[in-house]
Chains A and B, each alone.
Chain A
Amino acid sequence: MTGAIPISWYLVLSAILFGLGVIAFVFKRNVITVFMSIELMLNAVNLAFVAFARAHDQLDGLVFVFFVIVVAAAEAAVGLAIVIMLAQNRQSLNVERVNLLKL
């Protein structure tokens, strides 16, 4: 095949990764792994953004990807701090143990 890869292939890959992220989010029981599946979903969305930026030849998609990465960094920092506190209070990282509003 000569020429560029069709953009729809990237979008299908992004959809597959997003779907796998959803499956991981639903199936996994460790808080940190659930968090990582959120990052996987964000990465799939980033791929869709970059693919569309190339399809329409605009750089706005890339600026969006930049912001998504930055916001994911901030979210990971605070989320992992919460996870550490949770682990210290409950002595377990199982999401099924965190079922009371009061720690």
Chain B
Amino acid sequence: MIPLILFILCAALAIAGAIVLIWAHEPIHSALALILVMVALAILYLLLGAPFISAVQIIVYAGAIMVLFVFVIMLLNFGLEERTNFSKLAIPGALLAVVLMAEIAHWLAHSSIGRAMANGPAAPATEASTVELSKMLFRQYLFPFEATSILILIAILGALVLARKES
């Protein structure tokens, strides 16, 4: 009963946030809506039994990446307002997006894999333990882990080089 209420609430919040992202006139409102989407998704990750990923989502995504976005909006928007010009090319784009969503929903409802998944998890609900996740991260996925740390270093260097004043 409570998982159902929580799911419907968080799903509604996430979809509402995405719609506000599209509809808002000011970029800061879109950023706040995206933060709402991320927090709603973090609660959904908790429902799916992944507490570590939920905490990482809030700490990294909602608490650091979106702060970066909000900073940039504040620094650059001081005077710059967004004007959404309605482009004719957008209508087929939106139609294609709706078609994509309908196709996925149809596949889920009518294919064998989809129907197998719709009956819920076969295994009993256990939480993904942080210890198991970190063991996997440091044993099987060690190379991608180290590669992402080099990736972050490159990103820091890139951002520094781009932001340096010409002097």
Residues of A within 8 A of B (CB): 1-13, 15-24, 26-30, 32-33, 35-37, 39-40, 43, 46-47, 50-51, 53-55, 57, 59-60, 62-63, 65-67, 69-78, 80-85, 87, 92-94, 96
B93:A22 contact, CB within 8 angstroms: yes
Q: How far is the CA of A93 from the CA of B151 in the complex (A)?
A: 27
B121:A57 contact, CB within 8 angstroms: yes
Report the count of interface residues on B (CB-CB < 8 A).
84
B-chain residues with CB within 8 Å of residue A2 when the two chains form the complex: 1
Residues of B within 8 A of A (CB): 1, 3-4, 7, 11, 14-15, 18-19, 21-22, 27, 30-31, 34, 37-38, 41, 44-45, 47-50, 52-53, 56-57, 60-61, 64-65, 68-69, 72-73, 75-77, 80, 82-85, 87, 89-90, 93-94, 96-98, 100-101, 104-105, 108-109, 114, 117-123, 125, 128, 132-133, 136-137, 141, 144, 148, 151-152, 154-156, 158-159, 162-163
B-chain residues with CB within 8 Å of residue A47 when the two chains form the complex: 41, 44-45
Q: How far is the CA of A12 from the CA of B101 in the complex (A)?
A: 8
A22:B97 contact, CB within 8 angstroms: yes
A-chain residues with CB within 8 Å of residue B94 when the two chains form the complex: 23, 26-27
21 A–B pairs (Cβ distance < 8 Å), ordered by A: A3-B120, A4-B3, A5-B47, A13-B11, A16-B15, A17-B14, A20-B19, A23-B93, A26-B93, A26-B94, A27-B84, A43-B41, A50-B53, A62-B53, A63-B137, A81-B162, A84-B162, A84-B163, A85-B162, A92-B80, A94-B82
| B106 → chain A closest CB, angstroms | 11
B57:A80 contact, CB within 8 angstroms: no
Q: How far is the CA of A9 from the CA of B16 in the complex (A)?
A: 17
| A77 → chain B closest CB, angstroms | 5
Q: Evaluate whether A81 and B158 lie within 8 angstroms (CB atoms) in the complex, with A8-B118, A32-B76, A63-B136 already known.
A: yes
Q: How far is the CA of A63 from the CA of B142 in the complex (A)?
A: 11
Q: Evaluate whether A69 and B72 lie within 8 angstroms (CB atoms) in the complex, with A27-B84, A81-B158 already known.
A: no
